[in-house]
Structures are given as C-alpha cells and as structure tokens.
C-alpha cells in the first residue's frame, strides 16, 4: 500500500519568489531563511517521494470571493501557474496524479467531507513557492495532488475540522493499493497580518508554542476558534490550518527531523518543519 513518508510545513510569502528570481539567497536578510531548507533538501534526496499532497490556500488565482469552496481537491493531469500580479516569474507545470486524486476524493467524501473537485486547476504562489524551495531546479521529480483549504473568506473551517481532514487524508493514502511514497506539504503562516490596525503583527511566542505542539501535542491548536486564532496570529496567520491538516495526516506520533524559525520575511513569521511519522 502507499505510505506517507513525511510532512513538511513552510511559509509561502510572495516575496520569496522575488528573492529567488533576483538571486538573493545569500543576502543577510534572506540567508537565515534559505539556509533552513538545506537539510530538508538533503532528506528529500534520500527519501525520494513519488507524490506530494500539497495542502495550501488559494489567494484568488483559481478561486475568488464569488466562489470559495471550504475544501477543494485537484484531479487534473497537470497544474499550471499564472501571473498573480506580484512580479514573480511563473514556474514549469506540475504533473498531477488523477488516479490517486480520485481515490482521495472518494475516500474523503465517504467520510462526510464535502469537496469541490477540480479537473482543471491553476495553482498560485502558496503551491509553487514551497515546491521551488524544496526543488530549486524546478524539475519537479514528483507527481502532485493539490488540496486547497479556504482561509480567505468567512466562514472558515475550524482548526479541529482541518486536523480531521488531515487524518482522513492519511487513511485515504494508507488504503491506496499502490506502493507510492507520499509526502504531505503544508504551506502558509505563521503569524502575520498584512492590513488593518495590526498590520505587521507577529506573535513569536505563540508561533514557537504551536511548532512545539506539532510534535508533542498535535491537537493543541484545535482548542481555538477561528476568531481566537486570528487574535493570536493575525488575519493571515490563520493559514496555520494547513499545518494542522498536514500534521493530522502523519498519524499520532512523529519526530521532528528539522525546524527553522525566522522573522521577519516581508512582515511574516516564517516557519519550517520536517516531520517523520513514527510507528
């Protein structure tokens, strides 16, 4: 059967794409961020995943405020990037895995998750930049399955619901008869607010406690309502929902192989974790 070999959680700030395009990886402002990915790439070279399930949030490229599904899963043979207006170069297309996508969709619907199924899907910086951080040559040696969670327009799914979605993804992968090695990639956050009276808000203490909970108490953040999460992390910090879904997919026990925390990156607290399931 297919097996989840690990989970990676990381931020997806658009400015990262600009830094990559301008070759700023060694600039003092960016170096602590980019250096954090060296051990992750080394692990990937040894782990050699076949498929990446990318748990992310769309920012208006594929979904907009007039049509905003709570959960959406891609089932396309290919996913393409497009210009979002940030000045970030577009990246090569990503190969999909329709068979595994449909298995995930059918499994999740059977567990009472109401999904939007996308047989065509554009993927934005929340998908592309983390992939480029993991594979800088942008040759994409993996197939991909996009799982999109609404963190843009109320009502948002609760933290508990997103964790349960991740658990259901884990069960779906385990029931797939293939022998694929599956990586779960959750993108977004950590604490940041880009507008309003609290623009520039970062909560380092909460971020670090949340990162610790990903290993030692994975359901810790599910105690908070959406409004409480926004209070603790800022309007856009609620993107930690993708981290929770990723963690839910990994099973009850994990070990942290690597983590990095750096502030600020374009007014955002940047977190990175590499987690491996423990039997």
Of 18-22, 82-86, 238-242, least confident by mean pLDDT is: 82-86
pLDDT at 1: 82
pLDDT at 192: 87
Q: What 3-state DSSP class applies to 68?
A: coil
| Res 149 pLDDT > 90 | yes
12-254-230-86 Cα dihedral, nearest 10 degrees:
0
Distance, CA of 255 to CA of 56 (rounded, Å): 22
Scanning the structure block, which residue is given the tokens 């059967």?
1
Burial of 36 (0-12, 13-18, 19+ CB in 10 A): buried
Residues facing residue 144 across a β-bridge: 52, 96
State mean pLDDT over 49-69: 95
pLDDT at 160: 98
pLDDT at 200: 82
pLDDT at 228: 97
pLDDT at 93: 98
Neighbours of 23 (CB within 10 A): 8
* pLDDT digit string, tens, across residues 169-197: 999 999 999 999 999 999 999 998 978 88
pLDDT at 244: 98
Residues labelled as active-site residues: 125, 192
- Average pLDDT over the chain, rounded to an integer: 96
Q: Quickly name the fold that domain 3-277 has.
A: Protocatechuate 4,5-dioxygenase; Chain B (3.40.830)
Q: What 3-state DSSP class applies to 233?
A: helix
Residue ranges of domains in the chain: 3-277
Local confidence band at 279 (pLDDT 50, 70, 90 cut-offs): confident
Cα 217 to chain centroid distance, Å, stands at: 19
Local confidence band at 100 (pLDDT 50, 70, 90 cut-offs): very high
Distance, CA of 46 to CA of 183 (rounded, Å): 13
pLDDT at 91: 96
State mean pLDDT over 143-160: 97
Cα 265 to Cα 7, 127, 262: the distances in Å are 22, 18, 7
State mean pLDDT over 59-78: 95
Q: Which residue has the higher pLDDT, 9 or 199?
A: 9
């Amino acid at each position: 059967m297919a097996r989840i070999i690990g989970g990676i959680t990381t931020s997806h700030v658009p400015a990262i794409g600009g830094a990559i395009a301008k070759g700023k990886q060694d600039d003092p402002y960016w170096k602590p961020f980019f250096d954090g990915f060296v051990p992750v790439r080394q692990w990937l070279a040894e782990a050699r995943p076949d498929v990446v399930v990318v748990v992310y949030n769309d920012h208006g490229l594929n979904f907009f405020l007039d049509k905003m599904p709570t959960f959406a899963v891609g089932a396309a043979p290919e996913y393409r990037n497009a210009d979002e207006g940030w000045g970030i170069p577009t990246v090569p297309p990503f190969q999909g895995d329709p068979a595994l996508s449909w298995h995930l969709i059918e499994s999740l619907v059977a567990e009472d998750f109401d999904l939007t199924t996308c047989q065509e899907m554009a993927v934005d910086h929340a998908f592309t930049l983390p992939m480029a951080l993991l594979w800088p040559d942008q040759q994409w040696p993996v197939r991909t399955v996009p799982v999109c969670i609404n963190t843009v327009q109320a009502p948002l799914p609760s933290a508990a619901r997103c964790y349960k979605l991740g658990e259901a993804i884990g069960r779906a992968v385990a029931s797939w008869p293939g022998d694929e090695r599956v990586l779960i990639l959750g993108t977004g956050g950590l604490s940041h607010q880009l507008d309003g009276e609290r623009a520039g808000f970062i909560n380092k203490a909460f971020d670090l406690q949340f990162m610790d909970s990903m290993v030692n108490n994975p359901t810790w953040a599910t105690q908070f309502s959406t409004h409480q999460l926004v209070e603790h992390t800022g309007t856009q910090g609620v993107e930690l929902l993708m981290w929770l879904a990723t963690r839910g997919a990994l099973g009850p026990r994990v070990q942290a192989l690597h983590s990095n925390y750096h502030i600020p990156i374009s007014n955002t607290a940047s977190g990175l974790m590499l987690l491996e399931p423990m039997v």
